[in-house]
Chain A
């Protein structure tokens, strides 16, 4: 996927002016948090389960090499193949090679964030193979040639009217005067269109919510059932997954499932949870003849052992963005790459470099809501702050930010001078704005004053007042000297 993180500010501004998007975002930020809370309330052990989910992921990250080897051995024992990829390019090459080996014309795809990360659709298309997204939301945005704007509700930014227009534009084999007013008619049309594609596909490409070392299985969680038709019908099943998706056992996978759907959609359990292990067995009447797993690193090993390691616990539930005031205001596209919201603001700089994504960690109020709902307790605000610090340290020593802070630090270390300068500034601001009580414009702070007035200081500085003998009264109220 093309990266537009550099133009974050412009992206965000555009998003805030997009009325359709704002309607959908308002709907999202009501529904998801409410449903999550209800699901958590129905599960008294929810907090304890979150602790365990966190511990399972930490345990795997601490021993990732061993678990990867155990997992790989099991996949092979079950008749599958594992392909290792250091980066997106290698992953794409593996997938293309497998597709070519069976002379694939079409590939059905069930939603995969890693698929987005390696931009597999464009690549397959360029090589003459048609990728078909089968998750309804992904299908809609594929028709619109747009990237996803949410990790579990990729078409959250599209209105019903837009879906209808897209279906009319693309499904030209259907009668022009058909009625699509009802959302159900859109659903039926999509079901019909995709049915043939499922049956004709040569290869099914899925992601993985988890990889189980004990059994060599990949776990797929969906509500639609599209992943199941994607792996069960074609001759070849390819799984594309990143390294950190491993869990030790079926029991561990189960614990994570208990927090995943509840955090994501507020369901107790998603409709379909499937454990796929190797190809078709002797006697099996259906299922793929070949089973491949492409294991992708793409920068993750760099995060291990770093201050950002904890981000690798993420199970991509989307709770952090569903509860984020910034995501709610600007939606997913503004974040400029695959992962939006708080998780994106931490992960994108980690995987793509902070240089082009420096705005993301700053686009946060650090309100802490994300961390409070993250099922694996990733300290997202702390990691956002780490990025801010890192980015600051990387700037050249003569950048405006550095110079301003250096000047402040110099003055702050000299109390007498500091109080004088402070008093001077307060007096000046007071002189300009005391009458109205507010300032319409401030030097160096147009970003603030273009949107709202700045309250004018009404008296002296705290220290000046203190010296003049103003004291708190018994009730704790500050007694201010009468203004002249």
Chain B
């Protein structure tokens, strides 16, 4: 290993009050990482399950997202088409492979699938979860979930199952570890990118005025589905 590494680490070690304690400390540190206990979770992240969807919708709306709730998977294409027509938006969409099961035949939309590119105008993706605390969507990168779809297009529509709306961010970590740890039986579960998205892109860099849609999407539309099937 590099000279710089050795020097930096040994410099830090000299500030330790009791070098003999290093072994104990190492144990404590490893336990802390292994246990990854939650710290204080505020009340707003711990509301009862039946309040969470409403809380999520209120918080997401507060940060300039739009939200609708539909009964089941068959309603999703219809809702996406309605949203696009009502807002005078293009009818060419790109969907994430995770939504390949949707049947768009009833709509007039032109649908393609793949990673995001410069020509995309509207992308439709699915979320791993939602956090009621702040109306935050959570997605992660995977074969069926290209990261670029979340950031390149000016209009982003996200499908979120109501049962995946949790109270606090901590619940997301618990679910994520469970969902991915089992795959390789190691603790190297973290996907390449985990993205928390709270409303559409914004900036205050011109005259401290709030403007939406600088680099990421200008519009974020969330479709909450009550369907219980996976």
A: residues with CB less than 8 A from B are 24, 27-28, 31, 43-45, 48-49, 52, 56, 63-70, 74, 77-78, 83-86, 90, 134-137, 140, 153-156, 159-160, 163, 183-184, 186-187, 190-191, 194-196, 198-199, 213-217, 223-226, 228-229, 231-233, 243, 248-252, 254-255, 257-258, 265, 267-281, 283-287, 295, 297, 301-302, 304-305
CB distance from A215 to the nearest CB of B (A): 4
Subset of 21 A-B contacts with CB under 8 Å: A43-B44, A44-B42, A63-B25, A69-B9, A83-B2, A85-B4, A140-B205, A183-B207, A183-B209, A187-B211, A190-B214, A216-B190, A226-B215, A243-B8, A251-B39, A254-B38, A273-B195, A278-B192, A279-B192, A286-B116, A302-B11
Q: Which of A43, A225, A287 contacts B216 (CB 8 A)?
A: A225
CB distance from B125 to the nearest CB of A (A): 12
Q: Which of B8, B32, B42, B143 contacts A285 (CB 8 A)?
A: B143
Chain B CB count within 10 A is highest, among A85, A140, A257, A284, for: A284
Task: Tell me the bound Cα distance from A67 to B33 in angstroms.
Answer: 10
Say which size band chain B's interface belongs to.
Answer: 35 or more
B: residues with CB less than 8 A from A are 2, 4-5, 7-9, 11-16, 22, 25-26, 28-30, 32-33, 36-40, 42-44, 59, 63, 114-116, 118, 133-134, 136, 141-143, 146-148, 150-152, 169-170, 173, 188-209, 211, 213-217
With A52-B40, A251-B38: A183-B190 Cβ-Cβ less than 8 Å: no
Task: Tell me the bound Cα distance from A83 to B8 in angstroms.
Answer: 12
Contacting residues, chain B, for A223 (C-beta < 8 A): 201-204
Enumerate the 4 nearest inter-chain pairs by beta-carbon distance, A residue then B residue, closest first. A225-B216, A305-B15, A137-B205, A273-B196
CB distance from A91 to the nearest CB of B (A): 10
Q: Which of B16, B43, B115 contacts A45 (CB 8 A)?
A: B43
Task: Tell me the bound Cα distance from A85 to B178 in angstroms.
Answer: 36
**B195 pairs with A228, CB closer than 8 A:** yes
With A214-B33, A287-B147: A277-B192 Cβ-Cβ less than 8 Å: yes
CB distance from B24 to the nearest CB of A (A): 11
Determine the residue in chain B with the shortest Cβ distance to A154.
B205
Determine the residue in chain B with the shortest Cβ distance to A215.
B190
Task: Tell me the bound Cα distance from A121 to B30 in angstroms.
Answer: 38
Task: Tell me the bound Cα distance from A95 to B170 in angstroms.
Answer: 35
CB distance from A187 to the nearest CB of B (A): 5
CB distance from A295 to the nearest CB of B (A): 8
Task: Tell me the bound Cα distance from A257 to B173 in angstroms.
Answer: 14
